[in-house]
Amino acid sequence: MTPGTSGTGSEAPLTREWRPDWPCPVAAVLSTHRRGGADPTFRRAADGSIWRGIRTPEGATSLRIAARPAAGVVDATAWGPGSAWVLDQLPRMLGAEDDPTGFEPPAPLVDAWRRHSSWRLGATDLVMEALVPAIIEQKVTGQEAFSGFRQLVHRYGERAPGPPSEPDPAVRLWLQPTPKQLRMIPSWDWLRVHIDIGRSRPLVGAARVATALERAGTLGPVEFDRRLRTLPGIGVWTSAEVRSRALGDADSVSFGDYHVAANIGWVLTGEPVDDAELAVLLEPYAGHRHRVQRLVELAGLRRPRHGARMSPRTHLPGSIR
């Protein structure tokens, strides 16, 4: 890592040039961290670079990642007190420690695996970063969840550190609220950001034990899953969503998500399935079950939909109208 030439105030950014030993598809690996097209913590600039606002164990950071595929290089620039930490984390974040050895895709996904064989599952080692939006996404439409997350960040988060003038007007990064900030939100303000009590309570409960949850993330997926699901309002779906992003758990499956089960079932059998049937279908891929789920997503495969989409609720303050 080397100091750059510009920064916020007197602090210059740090830079890193990383040369992965495989053709790393940066955008595909990082896309799972984007919570809707207007996610204020994740931006894609006009030049194709990806920007993320991240709270690291060492402080707030803005991270810019730009791939140079022809040279086989990934360039990263980071601003803020967590810069060294996040640049050290870069290879793991982009999947350098993921090992797909032994994964044989189901027959309907052979072509998808051939097209996405360079994809790897990254890990951020940041539990709360993944957990907060996952709880917000529980049992609501994607549109409602993304709006709630965006409003929460804008109302209670803060601007991420970065260059004095961003090179792209679309890059205006924000940071998620800290656990302390989450704990301080009055109950009525959760409704103003369109997050009902069924999700605000688990969020506040997780924020109260955030340090212990981050520590649990170092104990491996199985023990982390056990500890996380002792918290009221957090179940198997939320745990899987966090384990895949924060821990890089290649065996996590988002059971409890109707669309996941239905889409995978349709791809593998021609018919939607429920969670019990999905578990049977994925058993031959134990250890790599998340790869099957993600391949379906990367390939854009989904069952045919009939009828109107579910509409967001409009009876809460701050509802989408």
Q: Domain of 149: which CATH number?
A: 1.10.340.30
- Write out the residue range of the structural domain in which residue 223 sits: 2-247
The answer to whether the CB of 225 falls within 8 A of the CB of 255 is: no
* Contact partners, residue 16, CB within 8 Å, separation at least 6: 1, 2, 75, 76, 78, 87, 90
Q: Residues in the chain with pLDDT < 50?
A: 5-10, 315, 317-321
User: Is 215 domain-assigned?
Assistant: yes
Of 153, 119, 125, the closest CA to residue 35 belongs to: 153
Rounded Cα distance between 42 and 7, Å, is 19
User: Is 130 domain-assigned?
Assistant: yes
Q: What is the pLDDT of residue 314?
A: 52
User: Is 257 domain-assigned?
Assistant: no
User: Is 228 domain-assigned?
Assistant: yes
Q: What is the pLDDT of residue 170?
A: 58
- Predicted confidence (pLDDT) per residue in 60-94, tens digit: 999 999 999 999 999 999 999 999 999 999 999 99
Helix (H, G, I), strand (E, B) or coil at 66: strand
Sheet architecture: strand order including 2-3: 2-3, 14-18, 73-79, 59-68, 50-56, 42-44
Q: What is the pLDDT of residue 65?
A: 97
* Contact partners, residue 21, CB within 8 Å, separation at least 6: none
Rounded Cα distance between 261 and 275, Å, is 6
- The single-letter code of the amino acid at 111 is D
User: Is 316 domain-assigned?
Assistant: no
Number of domains in the chain: 1
User: Is 277 domain-assigned?
Assistant: no
The residue count of the chain comes to 321
Q: The pTM is what?
A: 0.91
CA 111 to chain centre: 25
User: Is 120 domain-assigned?
Assistant: yes
Rounded Cα distance between 158 and 54, Å, is 11
User: Is 306 domain-assigned?
Assistant: no
- The single-letter code of the amino acid at 24 is C
